[in-house]
Amino acid sequence: MKRLPCSLWFLLLFAAGGLVLFIHQQDLSEMVQQQGPVHHQVMIKGFGIDFNLEEMKNCRKKRLKRGHQTIHLIPPPQKKPHSTGGVQLYFEFLYLFEGYNQNQHTFSNGSHQSWKKLSDILEARRQLMKEMCAKYKSSISRTITRHHVKHLFVEDKYKLLYCQVPKAGCSNWKRTLMVLAGQASNTQSIKHDTVHYGHHLKKLDSFDRQGIMHRLETYTKVMFVREPLERMVSAYRDKFENPNNYYHSLFGKPIISKYRVNPSWTALKTGSGVTFKEFVQYLLDVHRPVGMDIHWEQANQLCNPCLIDYDFIGKFENMEEESNFLLRWTGAPPNLTLPSFKDRNPTDKRTSMQLTQKYFSQVSTLERQRVYDFYYMDYLMFNYSKPFKDLY
């Protein structure tokens, strides 16, 4: 997709090279060249990037490409008229970065290097995604329909599109989106049921075609993924090991009825007590007695990353750091950070890789291989390594 020149105008953060920025007022003023009353150019030392401040004001793009460098820019928290010129604007952008000392104009040790590193990782994920899409999904239709965007939540104020991948930190992101949208003052005050059943957040498929396309073209598109087998085990534990009338009735009953030998009357009637092996049998069955569900559907099927050019592919495994990076990147209020609620069954242990291996010890090697095959595209696209050595 073509990046508009407008995108030049937000302040830079992480350019290539492990440069430490020490900006002194004096140096900067030398770098500012006045070119008439409203047009300024700022050269930022070491980066060779010039900013046209006038254009910068009206621009929403958060990433710009210069040569082979990708530079991430962060807008100021609110758009004020910038009569003060380049230096002031520059510092307004800068102070958003964690660890930036406004008095000394320095970054505290490590903070901007770690963000620079993260920014490189995120760019590598996007590149890998592009390669995988070209290799495996080049034949898919390029036309985006309503169906492709039905899992994307819309936050119009900060221009975010968040694709919902359940069991990958989704509830905490929904809370955060509600705070961004002004529906709550902080993430703690939102009740669990409000997050899950409140329908407070708009879905992208509720807009008309023009509204969908406009948002896809101009908003920051985000998705978070998780190690696929771990996510699948987490979904099983959440929906089948705990009381859940809806899932036990809708999925439990047909699963027990098809895969259990001599099921008890109670098991058939309630659908409770689906074993992990039965769940795996259902997942691998080409004639499933009941369809797929968002909780165990492949992430690439939910979010369509080959059709939708995600700006940000985050990982559950590094959720907190990456989410907070994203929040600063989008210009969210500085005191807003991702919460770490564990909404359902808060006393259960979080599903770890160890726990995942324990669950998979209950199924055959062949079944385990086939579950891996089932999620193979997620492994490739999101660069997760094989969870068991003997998989091929």
Ligand X SMILES: *[C@@H]1O[C@H](CO)[C@@H](O)[C@H](O)[C@H]1NC(C)=O
Asked if residues 347 and 370 have their Cβ atoms less than 8 Å apart, the reply is: no
Token pair for residue 332? 């969210």
Other residues' Cβ atoms within 10 Å of the Cβ of residue 389: 5
Q: Does residue 33 belong to the site contacting ligand X (CB under 6 A)? A: no
Number of residues that bind ligand X (CB under 6 A): 11
Alpha carbons 38 and 53: distance in angstroms, whole number: 8
Q: Does residue 133 belong to the site contacting ligand X (CB under 6 A)? A: no
Q: What CA–CA distances, in Å, run from 283 to 186, 295, 298, 372?
A: 38, 12, 11, 11
Q: Which residues of 305-322 are buried (b: 16+ CB within 10 A; e: fewer)?
A: bbbbebbbbbbbeebeeb
- Nearer residue to ligand X within complex by CB, 78 or 335: 335
Q: Does residue 18 belong to the site contacting ligand X (CB under 6 A)? A: no
- Nearer residue to ligand X within complex by CB, 125 or 239: 125
Among 34, 88, 111, 186, binds ligand X (CB under 6 A): 186
Among 26, 103, 141, 185, binds ligand X (CB under 6 A): 185
- Nearer residue to ligand X within complex by CB, 186 or 218: 186
Q: Does residue 336 belong to the site contacting ligand X (CB under 6 A)? A: yes
SS3 for 272?
coil
Among 48, 333, 352, 365, binds ligand X (CB under 6 A): 333
SS3 for 383?
coil
- Nearer residue to ligand X within complex by CB, 56 or 229: 229
SS3 content of the chain, % helix, strand, coil (to 5): 45, 10, 45
- Nearer residue to ligand X within complex by CB, 281 or 300: 300
- Nearer residue to ligand X within complex by CB, 53 or 179: 179
Q: Does residue 327 belong to the site contacting ligand X (CB under 6 A)? A: no
Q: Does residue 290 belong to the site contacting ligand X (CB under 6 A)? A: no
Token pair for residue 205? 């498929």
Which listed range, 147-155, 286-294, 330-338, 373-381, lies at the site for ligand X (CB under 6 A)? 330-338
**Site residues (CB under 6 A) for ligand X?**
109, 124-125, 128, 179, 185-186, 333, 335-336, 383
